[in-house]
Structure 1
Amino acid sequence: MIQRLAVVLSEGAISDLEAIAAYVLESSGSESITNGFVDRIKERCLGVGNVPRGGRPRDDIAPGLRTVPFEHSAVIAYVVESDVVHIVNIFHGGRDYEALIGDSDKPS
């Protein structure tokens, strides 16, 4: 039997969700559309815990990083550490997540 792992959203992922919510609200003008979209993203994040190694390995970007798509409009980036899935970021609207994650690894 496959073990379901706990899922934790990083501060970066929470900030991403807040930015996505602001963008969708501005674009749609509807709180119900915004809340529904953000809720579906959260559900998808939690679902990663059911198949944590099912995402696409992206060791080319950062060691242990995996990604999964969300509704053709976002990419969820995460790492699996022991028995926890850490959602690192949620990239929406075609953002160049490869460059963004790669830049975060470089010293300032």
Structure 2
Amino acid sequence: MDRRTGAPATALSYAMKLRQFCRSLADFPERGLTRADIWPGLRVVFLERRVTIAYSIEDSVVVVARVFHGGQDWEAELRSDLPDAEEDSL
């Protein structure tokens, strides 16, 4: 049986699609929705309504902060990641 069939192949294919999508942010980094209400400079984009990618642009470089599955409460997760000093300034 070919090991690249079935669920492992599907997972690998999706991981490669996710990686390519993240890399494409370098071409159009400002396409994401701004979410400065959560973090200064935060942007989010969505992949196939299943994945939320949180990132920022630092010195012309896209920095992916977190990747969330569709069922996760990504807004709450990101807010809980804030250091106390940043929470006070929002």
The SS at the match of 2:52 is strand
Q: 1:101 aligns with which of 67, 78, 83?
A: 78
Is residue 10 of structure 2 the alignment partner of residue 41 of structure 1?
no
Structure having greater relative contact order (Cα 8 Å, sep ≥ 6): 1
TM-score by length of 1: 0.70
Counterpart amino acid of residue 36 in structure 2: D
Structure index of larger Rg: 2
Write the mapping of 1:76-95 to structure 2, written as runs, cut at 5 A: 76-95=53-72
Counterpart amino acid of residue 19 in structure 2: K
RMSD: 1.1
TM-score by length of 2: 0.83
Partner of 2:40: 63
The SS at the match of 1:35 is helix
Q: How many aligned residue pairs are there? A: 79
The SS at the match of 1:53 is helix
Counterpart amino acid of residue 67 in structure 1: V
CA distance in 2: counterparts of 1:44 and 1:94, whole angstroms: 20
Unaligned segments of structure 2, at least 5 residues: 1-5, 85-90
